[in-house]
Amino acid sequence: MIRRSRFTRRRYNGYTLLEMLITLIVSSILAGIAIPSLSSLLSSNRMTVSVNEFIAALYLARSEAIKRGQTVSICPSLDQSTCITTRDWKRGWIVFVEANQNSRRDADEQLIRVFGQKKNTMSLRSSRRPPVSFQHHGRSPGSNATFTFCDNRGVGAARAVILSNSGRYRVARTKTNGNALDCGKPG
């Protein structure tokens, strides 16, 4: 028969202070590695959303022009009612029926949709003066344009929506000659 001494050690379930500190240190290191990647992922997603929203506006303008049999334009706007003649589109843009072809929205021209200001650090600028107009057959003559989206990550992360006279677009990461996109100040 084995006798148990009253001095035998009891086993406790749980963690020691040392185990807790090691776990905390390893977790901190992993979080330090993951946070920059998460930040880059969020910036990339914001860029994608902004580009897709602009493409949706182009699609809307083109399809409305075809459906209505009239010219429909898209232009940057400060007040979500009238066009401005800057190449900076960050403050938002409007899609409207352009009845008199005067390159601006008049009070009697129907406003189709308003796209509000971009609140993140994104910039959006055009290579040409607005507006971009789509005719009743869906073409956009004289509207060859490049719309460049930039954020705080610089030209390496920039995107461009390139619109052709046929009314079609493509998304690019570089200029047609292979050079980096321009993220300079809007003109």
CA distance 134 to 176: 23
Q: Domains in the chain: how many in total?
A: 1
Range of the domain at 144: 17-172
Positive or negative, the CA dihedral 163, 169, 174, 180 is positive
What's the pLDDT at 187? Answer: 42
Q: Residue 12: inside a domain, yes or no?
A: no
**Which tokens is 11 given?**
């086993």
Question: Is 26 inside any structural domain?
Answer: yes
- Residues 169/163, Cβ–Cβ less than 8 Å: yes
Q: Supply the pTM of this predicted model.
A: 0.77
What is the per-residue pLDDT for 38? 79
Q: What is the pLDDT of residue 32?
A: 83
Supply the DSSP string of 20-34, one letter for each residue.
Answer: HHHHHHHHHHHHHHH
Looking at the domain assignment, is residue 73 inside a domain?
yes
List of the chain residues with pLDDT < 50: 186-187
Note whether residue 168 is domain-resident: yes
Is the residue at 186 inside a domain?
A: no
CB 99 within 8 A of CB 109: yes
Looking at the domain assignment, is residue 93 inside a domain?
A: yes
- What CATH number is associated with residue 51? 3.55.40.10
Give 107-116 contacts, CB < 8 A, sequence gap 24+: 111/81, 112/60, 112/61, 112/64, 112/72, 113/57, 113/60, 114/77, 114/80, 115/53, 115/54, 115/57, 116/80, 116/92
pLDDT in tens, 18-39: 888 999 999 888 888 877 777 8
In a domain, 181, yes or no: no
In a domain, 183, yes or no: no
